[in-house]
Amino acid sequence: MSFRYAAGINKPGFNPLAAQTTTTTATLFSWGSNTFGQLGLGDTADRSSPVQVGVLTDWSNISAGSLFSIATETDGTLYSWGYNAQGQLGLGNTTGTSSPNQVGALTTWLNVTGGPYQSFATKTDGTLWAWGNNNNGQLGLGDTVSRNSPVQVGALTTWLNMAAGTYHTLALKTDGTLWSWGRNVSGELGLGNTTNYSSPKQIGSLTTWLKVSSGFYFSLATQSDGTLWTWGNNNLGQLGSGNTTNRSSPVQVGALTTWLNIAGGAYFVLAVKTDGTLWSWGEGTAGQLGLGNASNYSSPKQVGALTAWSKITGALNFSTSIKTDGTLWSWGRNAQGQLGIGNLTNYSSPKQVGSLTTWSKVTSKRSHTLAA
């Protein structure tokens, strides 16, 4: 491999479910809170509009952690930047950085997921790696010791995708099974109990799980038949079950079989159906549900009447989505400019971010956003 250097980039000297892996490449932009350099712009100034991260145009998979970011390029290299007190950048130290730094020298990284203070990544060989905070066993390494560089989770080579909650983790294997580990006080692991586990445990015996996401202390997943399932904490109705009762095992949301894409925010959920409609539920106090108000809802509510919604991401108290026409939209809290619309005004219904029609991926966590 030949190394390519660019401003703001620091480099050292057939899968049955592959459709879930984003492989398109693009220029990377960031905006919102930047207290710890999580925007990757070489400084710590907040931005209220999208700003390009470096000059590279081959970013592949991106993920926002709470106060940091991680991303891969098409050559399989892995980068991280931002807050690093728990070693979540994987750089072998706990020093933060405001520009992308390469994690090791490997060129086999594939999917990435950033949690509040921990990170996960899969390699092209199907192995799963974890690093960062581990005080509740959320790294899946069989202990509660934090790591500041990537460590392999077990020895399996069949990991596909993962979702990082506050202190718990979910992961899908290529055989369609679903696994969880970490904190389980609210039943967020979906194992029928509230016991913490520091190594992966299978959720039931089904082999039809398709997509997975998580919120602070709850989890959600779809199956191949288009059904949607939730479990864990439900204090604000985020499970979409019409009540506020916690569940320690997966419970189906309604009876529909048309759920396509899902995203867990802190205490709320966004979901797109196969007809392109957008739905939300849970906490809405900052307008993050996009329903034009600040109310909570314990069952799915349609966001407007459009049928062109595609990709979605939920953060602490704001939301972002890409439509099928490539436009980008956001709503909710905007105190740090995380909506990307050039001001600090909160909005309780979707507002377009600029006028571009070329957005293909978006990720947010806490108060900042990455998009390409």
Which pTM does this prediction carry?
0.93
User: Are 77 and 102 in contact, with CB atoms under 8 Å apart?
Assistant: yes
CA angle 319, 323, 328 (to 5 degrees): 55
> Mind listing the pLDDT tens digit for each residue in 266-296?
999 999 999 999 999 999 999 999 999 999 9
pLDDT at 10: 46
Among all chains, which residue has been given the structure tokens 């604000």? 236
- Which tokens is 23 given? 């492989």
Q: In the prediction, which pLDDT does 24 show? A: 62
The answer to whether residues 114 and 166 touch, using CB atoms and an 8 Å cutoff, is no
Place of tokens 């050039």: 342
SS3 18: helix
Average pLDDT, the chain: 94
**Does the pLDDT at position 4 exceed 80?**
no
pLDDT at 25: 66
Are residues 250 and 192 in contact, defined by beta-carbon separation less than 8 angstroms? no
User: Running DSSP on this structure, what letter comes out for residue 19?
Assistant: G
Q: Are 126 and 158 in contact (CB under 8 A)?
A: yes
Q: Is the pLDDT of residue 94 over 70?
A: yes
pLDDT tens digits, 110-154: 999 999 999 999 999 999 999 999 999 999 999 999 999 999 999
Between 147 and 11, residue with greater pLDDT: 147
Number of H helices, E strands in the chain: 0, 28
